[in-house]
Amino acid sequence: MAWTRLARNGGAVALATTVVLTVTPSAALAATGTVRTSGPALTVRSGPGTGYTSAGSVANGASVTITCQTRGTTVTGTYGTSSVWDKISSPAGYVSDAYVYTGSDGTVAPPCIQTITNDYPYKTDSWSQADPWLFYKRECVSWAAWRIRQRLGVDFTNSYRGVHWGNANNWDNAARSAGVRVDGTPKVGSIAQWNAGTYGHVAYVARVNSDGTVLLEEYNKGGTHNYQTRTVTKGSVENYLHF
């Protein structure tokens, strides 16, 4: 297969583990809001982004209970442009805060902690096959592309914004060419990137802890083509890419 179309990565030994971490916000900290659209019902998503499947809808003018809030796809709606998503209780799922009146321009409920688990759809496939985005399956770049598409709602591929992304050690250069911000500050949803090694490495930032450490989700950290999570120091990552 031609390296100009697909991409691999390298690294150290991976742990073939699936870790599920969840935190349920207290009901006492829940807030209420009112859905305001131009008339149509507001789609409820299974996750905080337009790339997630529909979980139902809520009518214009309906009152909703917001159990927690998180960041996701940026949406322009009734109340401006926002990347905040509200997790509501009925129907259970997420709605864009850009369409919900809460009486505040800021957040009004505690932050959601997203489930951290190996939900990658190609976890048992051959790594010699290409995924739909033209990366090799079960490589770090394929996993990162999956998270960018699923969690951020970005239509990311190996030719995103007309730029060839290729192997992980090219992602910082590709990001700059594509107008994607590259810096040294981790945020949930950013992509951690390293240039070292034959192919480099990328991982998804699942959490930034209060002590400044960063919890990563990744595939193929070391060539075994499996999923793992690990906590690293902020400065041990070369770059953070913000889609």
CATH number of 72's domain: 2.30.30.40
Is pLDDT at 2 greater than 70 in this prediction?
Answer: no
Buried b / exposed e across 35-62, counting CB within 10 Å, b at 16+? Answer: bbbeeeebbbbebbbbbbeebebbebeb
Is residue 18 situated within a structural domain?
no
Is residue 1 situated within a structural domain?
no
Among 112-121, 159-168, 218-227, 230-239, the least confident range: 112-121
Do 131 and 233 belong to one domain? yes
Do 127 and 199 belong to one domain? yes
Question: Domain range spanning residue 219?
Answer: 117-242
Do 84 and 131 belong to one domain? no
pLDDT value, residue 196: 95
| CB-based contacts of 179, cutoff 8 Å, min separation 6 | 161
Do 58 and 171 belong to one domain? no
What confidence tens digit (pLDDT) does each residue in 58-83 have?
A: 999 999 999 999 877 889 999 999 88
pLDDT value, residue 9: 54
Select from 73, 92, 113 the last residue of a domain.
Answer: 113
Is residue 17 situated within a structural domain?
no
| Cβ atoms < 10 Å from Cβ of 211 | 8
Q: Rounded to an integer, what distance in angstroms lies between the CA atom of residue 183 and that of residue 10?
A: 22
pLDDT value, residue 83: 84
Q: Rounded to an integer, what distance in angstroms lies between the CA atom of residue 77 and that of residue 61?
A: 15
* Full-model pTM: 0.66
Is residue 83 situated within a structural domain?
yes
Is residue 37 situated within a structural domain?
yes
Do 137 and 71 belong to one domain? no
Is residue 65 situated within a structural domain?
yes
